[in-house]
Amino acid sequence: GELDKWMLMATARAPTNIAVIKYWGKRDETLILPINDSISFTIDPDHLSATTTVAVSPSFQEDRMWLNGKEISLSGGRYQNCLRELRNRAGDFEDKTRGMQIRKEDWKKLHFHIASYNNFPTAAGLASSAAGFACLVFSLAKLMNVNEEIGQLSAIARQGSGSACRSLFGGFVKWTMGNQANGSDSIAVQLVDETHWDELVIIVAVVSSRQKETSSTSGMRESVETSSLLQHRAQAIVPNRILQMEESIKNRDFSSFARLTCADSNQFHAVCLDTSPPIFYMNDTSHRIINIVEKWNQHEGIPQVAYTFDAGPNAVMIARNRKTATLLLQRLLFYFPPSPDHDLNSYVLGDKT
Ligand code: 2P0
């Protein structure tokens, strides 16, 4: 009848985040609990972000989702866990002018249609699950009137993808590993907001447009099972590095920030190499970029640019300020000259013409 014809919607946008102290390894695979704290910064939402619209209507027969216009399955445990946690925390909804009311227990019987878009190519190997799950959880929480702090929402996003918990805040964010078995204290906290250190300029160099071969999820599982360096890193290295990184960020100490960021990226890739069989995420172009930045920093005496690489060959570089960023772009174009037929809007440094 007429009462079945309503539909409620909510839309949200969430950017991806880049870790400067890396998350690599879980102590609980289902709840997604990490073996160490991590720290990241969240990208400006105009770039590398997900936009998600969620709708609810009594005419929907099942939960369904479309990613970049293509329907995907929601049957996986990660989606189911997020949906269950959110439904359990749903609030009452009332729209007096339309005479509409949804009581919190009704959300368990209602179904959602979810449409999500990334403003960057998923195929470019840039993390999309962090932005995607952060956005999914936030938009559904708004739709269902979930009355929780962002930190509590981050614990739900974490169950979609570990790194997603850090995308619910802007600026610099710490994901504390927590020590509860149920994960209630494994949440994200904002260290400083996006205005605190706004001289920094982020440059992402796409080095290969190929999809990565080893997913983060299986890669970190293999590292936990086989790498003794990972155990040493989590127990003896990261705790101290987290404290130093928090200090560097608070004091906007770029030299210390850059040293820690580069060292942590390199140690993460050393762990990958220490995994059996070894995992290679960086390629020759990634290594050349590291060399170029290291030589430049050494020549200047104090670091100008920090680099960090995730589970793929693409370089994320952080320049001290706008002037340094300009010089960095000049250098990259000098060392990786595009040929005249390259489209500079989608130029991939490592691709041969
Ligand atoms: C990070 N990465 O801290 C690290 C550095 C990649 C390298 O978080 O299994 O997609 O969904 O928790 O979050 C990528 O791992 O893995 C990641 P799951 P996720 O950003």
Reply yes or no on whether the pLDDT at 270 is more than 80.
yes
pLDDT band for 122, please (50, 70, 90 cuts): low
Contacts of 176 (CB under 8 A, 6+ apart): 37, 185, 186, 187, 188, 189
Residue 88 Cα, ligand 1 centroid: separation in angstroms? 26
Ligand 1 centroid from CA 217, angstroms: 7
Radius of gyration of the chain measured on its C-alpha atoms: 21
From the CB of 310, is ligand 1 less than 6 Å away? yes
Pocket test for ligand 1, best of 27, 36, 161, 163 (most atoms within 8 A of CB): 163
Mean pLDDT, the chain, rounded, equals 93
Counts for the chain of helices (H) and strands (E), in that order: 9, 16
What is the band of 2 on the pLDDT scale with cuts at 50, 70, 90?
low
Whether 223 lines ligand 1, by a CB cut-off of 6 Å, is no
pLDDT, one tens digit per residue, over 225-264 is 999 999 999 999 999 999 999 999 999 999 999 999 999 9
DSSP code, position 43: P
For residue 56, what is the enclosing H or E element?
strand 49-57
C-beta of 162 in contact with ligand 1 (< 6 A): yes
Which residues are CB-neighbours of 150 under 8 A, at least 6 positions away? 168, 169, 188
Q: Is the CB of 161 under 6 A from ligand 1?
A: yes
What is the share, in percent, of the chain residues with pLDDT greater than 90? 84
Q: Is the CB of 81 under 6 A from ligand 1?
A: no
Q: What would the two tokens of residue 33 be?
A: 């609990």
The residue whose CB lies within 8 Å of the most ligand 1 atoms, and thus the one to mutate among 30, 37, 159, 216, is: 216
* Predicted confidence (pLDDT) per residue in 171-223, tens digit: 999 999 999 999 999 999 999 999 999 999 999 998 886 766 789 999 999 99
Residue 321 neighbours by CB under 8 Å, 6+ apart: 199, 200, 201
Q: Tell me which of 3.40.50.150, 3.40.640.10, 3.30.230.10, 3.40.50.10860 is the CATH number of domain 2-192.
A: 3.30.230.10
Q: How far is the CA of 290 from the centre of ligand 1 (A)?
A: 21
Residue 115 has pLDDT above 80, yes or no: yes
Q: Which ligand 1 atom is the nearest neighbour of the CA of 129?
A: 10
pLDDT at 80: 97
Residue among 325, 331, 293 at smallest CA distance from 309: 293
Q: Name the residue among 47, 141, 36 with its Cα closest to residue 86.
A: 141
Residue type, 201: V
Residue having the nearest C-alpha atom to atom 15 of ligand 1: 216
The domain ranges of the chain are 2-192, 201-346
* pLDDT exceeds cutoff 60 at 268: yes
pTM value is: 0.95
Query: What's the confidence (pLDDT) of residue 339?
Result: 78
Please work out whether the CB of residue 201 comes within 6 Å of at least one atom of ligand 1: no
* Cβ of 264 less than 6 Å from ligand 1: no
38 pocket-lining for ligand 1 (C-beta < 6 Å) = yes
Q: Which CATH class is domain 201-346?
A: alpha beta
Beta pairing class for 100-102 and 111-118: unpaired
CB 155 within 8 A of CB 33: no
Residue range 127-136: mean pLDDT, rounded: 91
Average pLDDT over residues 56-68: 96
For residue range 283-325, what is the model confidence (pLDDT) as tens digits?
999 999 999 999 999 999 999 999 999 999 999 999 999 999 9
Q: Can you give the pLDDT at residue 120?
A: 78
In whole angstroms, what is the distance from residue 57 CA to residue 106 CA? 11
Exposed e or buried b per residue across 170-180, where buried means at least 16 C-beta atoms within 10 angstroms of its C-beta: bbbbbbbbbee
Question: Nearest CA to 289 among 352, 347, 333?
Answer: 333
Per the CB < 8 A criterion, the answer to whether 128 and 60 are in contact is no
User: Strands, DSSP E only, in 131-179?
Assistant: 172-175
Distances in Å between the alpha carbon of 16 and those of 126, 135, 226, 248, 332?
A: 9, 10, 29, 22, 24
pLDDT confidence band for 351 (50 / 70 / 90):
low
123 — pLDDT class (breaks 50, 70, 90): low
State how far the Cα of 231 lies from the Cα of 233, in Å rounded to an integer: 5
Q: Residue 22 CA: which ligand 1 atom is closest? A: 3
Angle at 22 between CA 200 and CA 289, to 5 degrees: 60
What is the CA(162)–ligand 1 centre distance, in A?
Answer: 6
Phi, psi for residue 327 in degrees, rounded to 5: -65, -35
pLDDT for position 109: 95
Chain centroid to Cα 166, Å, comes to: 7
Partners of 33 in the beta sheet? 28
Residues 6+ apart with CB under 8 A from 189: 151, 169, 173, 174, 176
pLDDT at residue 353 in the model: 39
